[in-house]
Every structure is written in structure tokens, then in C-alpha cells.
Amino acid sequence: MNRRTSAPRHSVDISEEAGVRYLHFGSEWIQGAMRIARPWSLELSYTREMMAGLLLREAADWPRRVLMIGLGAGSLAKFLYRHRPNCRITVVEINPQVEFVARQYFKLPDDPRRLEVRIGCGADFMLGGDSSFDYILVDGFDADARPGALDTLPFYLACRARLNDDGLFCVNLLGRNRGFAASVRRIAEAFAGSVAVFPSCDSGNTMAFASPDQAVDISLDTLRARAAELKKASGLDLAPTIGRLQLAHPLPDGRLRIGRNPA
């Protein structure tokens, strides 16, 4: 596998407009955002989509261990840090400038006991370690929106191996338009077919969720109830995600299933 282990050469830039601060990697592409008046909220629609996994597991304190590949503006890390106080978060980010900018301009907490940022290649981290996690979130791209080694079968197999029994995997498929179907096939092969591709959100990003062992089998009514509880507790509204999911996919018996042998 051809991996890039040195920091990217592109610049890390910041812009602001209408009360929102944006992160860019040497281009106009938005790599992260924070509404200055609400720094803990998820400003970009795709970051809200990546939190849909919170609806798919029953335990109120799930997840307890989270791994994120790609830091960006730190939005996902901040959200879980604030709303899952018993959660320990590890973030792997290849560019040390991104960590500096996230702390300096996007209010990333400095609490290494609960939120650890490791500088390095996400693929190397996955293939070279043995620690396990409940939720693995992959959102890593270069300045041209290419995932590189983060979109390979060995990487996806390593992700599956690092998940706990009730773990979930989520990957942002932005930038993979040409190989979108191939990406999904690789994920499906790694997870023995236990994968669901959610419909694209407003930004055009598409999330794929996969389950290694404990399959997802949940009714739409339960999803809506959990979404209402999450909105009340955190302000995050995932009702639109459920609505698009219902419209885009046939859901037999009104249930979302991820995995061949639902419990």
C-alpha cells in the first residue's frame, strides 16, 4: 500500500462569513466549520450525518471509545466531548498544522485524558495497532478531496478488526464519485456485507455505516424516538436524516437492518 507518512504541503487557511468560521486546505473546499456563537454545534450537514450512529445503538452512554481519522475543525470531537462525558476520543491527524488551528481558532478542548490527538498517518495507525473502539469515524482527505490509503480493502479490514462487538464504522464518501461503487464494494467485502449507504445529505456527502458483529435491526419508530431524545439533549436534529433514509431505501417492515443476522 502506498501511504503518505509526512505532513501535506498544502496550506491550512481560515475564512469567516456571516458568523461562521471555515477551515480550508489550500483551496476553496470547506474542510470544517464552526458557528462562532455556537462552537459545540455541528454546523455542516455532513458532520450531523456522521453522528447518525448514535441512533443505531441502544445504550445511552454509547460510544465509550471513539476513533476519528481526520481532525478537520474538530467538530465531531467537540460534539462527543460535550455530549458523551464518559467517552474517550482518539483522533489521528496527519498534519500538525491542523491540530494547531483547531485548538487556536475552533475551540478544540485541551484535555488529553478524554481527547487525544495523535499526529500520523491514519492507515498506519489502523494497521499497526491493536486497541479497540466502539465507533470509528473516517473523514480524511487531501487538498484535492482524495482519500488515498483510507479507501483500500486492507484499511477497511483493519477498521473492522479494531471494532468492539457492538461497534460501528462510519466513513464519509465525499470525493469518491468515480469510484463510489468500488468503495462500497470494498467496505462490504471487509464487513461481510454488513453495510448500509445512507442517502446524500444537502452538501452532497454520503455516509456508509458498517457493523462488524452485532447487527443493527431497528424500527423507524425507535429511530424517531431516539432522534427526539438526542435533539432534546444536544440540539442535534437527525429527523431529516431518517426522512431521507425512508424515502431513498425500501425498509422491509419499517425497519433499518445492517447485517445478515439481526439480533
Residue 139 known to be catalytic: yes
Point out which residues pair with 115 in neighbouring strands.
Answer: 89
Amino acid at 142: D
Choosing from 139, 166, 213, 221, the catalytic residue is 139
Euclidean distance between CA atoms 96 and 142, whole angstroms = 14
Sign of dihedral through CA atoms 117, 118, 121, 126?
A: negative
Check whether the bond before 262 is cis (ω within 30° of 0). no
Q: Which residues are catalytic?
A: 139
